[in-house]
Amino acid sequence: MPASEAPAAPPGLARYLDTCATTPLAAPVQTAMAQAERLAWANPSSLHGPGLRAAESLERSRQRLGEALGLGDGRLLLVSGASEAIHLALLGAAGRLPPGRLLISAVEHPAVVAAASRLQREGWTVAVIPVDRHGVIDADAFAALLAPPTRLVSLIWGQSEVGTLQPVASIGRLCRQAGVLLHVDAVQVVGHRPVAFAELPVDLLSCGAHKLEGPRGIGALLVRPDLSLEPLIGGSQEGGLRGGTEPVVLAEGFATALERATARCAGLSDPIAALRDDLLERLLAQTGTSLIGSDPGDTPGRLPHHIALSLNDSEGRPLNGRALVRALARRGWAVSSGSACRSTAGGSGASPVLLAMGFEAERAASGLRISLGSWHSAADLEAFPADLLAARRQVELEG
């Protein structure tokens, strides 16, 4: 669906520009989940009629998710969300390997950092791949670090705070050549561009439902068919890799949300990119405004629904991102000053991601993230540039 033909925003959402944090449950997803709650409410491990209906619903949802993600012969494990998927990917893969080295980029999600810290306590070493000013990993440094004892790599595909995409295909080919496993955090990518897992040189891929107008509380880990994992939660469910009663209704919601997103992105990317580009052009026309992260026209590019800016006052000094978020909130807009899952560095407000990209501390506290939803139209965004300008003046006056 072209951005110009986007459906009218649900009540209160026309000014919600923080979809990288979470999205509302779409009405068709709510309807599908309500029907599943009526018809498939039982425990899918039970052998009676209601249980069998629940089991059938669960496996149909799993099949639909796999088809939408190009799973091929791989496995799709349903978990509580992307953070659990990331931990199962890294700890589960490492549990079947002798201790070695894990590579992560300097701009990973906190869930990856937490899993890496756990592996360090279990005898692994962790090396951080540096990134450039746009947040793209240093290819030479990465290639050098693929030498033994590296056994595992985890990389964020689309960086939620700055929008930069990583060259996953070329990274995956290098990992395959080196015999190193690759996990990709695709949370921000899934739902905004086509993903064909079976065609990617990737061993593990994690994603979640609530970034694409699906329910909270469910995510998925895609696993190469011949890869063995150590379970984190014992039990017979999910092939013995994730114990606990399966969330049949959430799985229905996840599958419905992903199918809607896949239909919208039938081309190479989300058509909302055109709306994003128009808004970005208007915002960059304001004095003292610069784009953070990769330019949309560059390779590998940026998330199609994402804008990240650094803003100056009239004297050329960075404006505080948190203060801008509050000033815009007073005008009815919901934006972000960074990842909703990331704590600030040392309480200063400086983003660890921007620090890793080479920004000095005051500039690293000036980031503003704007992320669009499928419901947005040009009319919804018409007033935003003027309101941002007013918010900037207010923050400067308040000092």
Please identify every residue annotated as catalytic.
341
Q: Which helix (H) or strand (E) holds 173?
A: helix 168-178
Cα→Cα distances 250→29, 44, 236, 254, Å: 10, 13, 19, 6
Question: What's the token pair of residue 100?
Answer: 């070695």
Cβ-proximal residues to 169 (8 Å cutoff; 6+ apart), any chain: 200, 201
CA 215 → CA 92, 132, 210, 257, distances in Å? 25, 35, 5, 8
The partner residues of 336 in beta bridges, in order of sequence, read: 369
CA distance 275 to 24: 20
Amino acid at 165: L
CA atoms within 13 A on the CB side of 30: 4
Beta bridge partner(s), residue 211? none
* Contact status, residue 119 vs residue 111, Cβ threshold 8 Å: no
Sign, Cα dihedral of 321, 326, 330, 336 = positive
Q: Which residues contact 184 (CB under 8 A, 6 or more apart)?
A: 154, 155, 156, 157, 168, 172, 200, 202, 204, 205, 206
Nearest residue to 256 via CA among 160, 191, 189, 306: 191
Kindly state the tokens that stand for 336. 């972000």
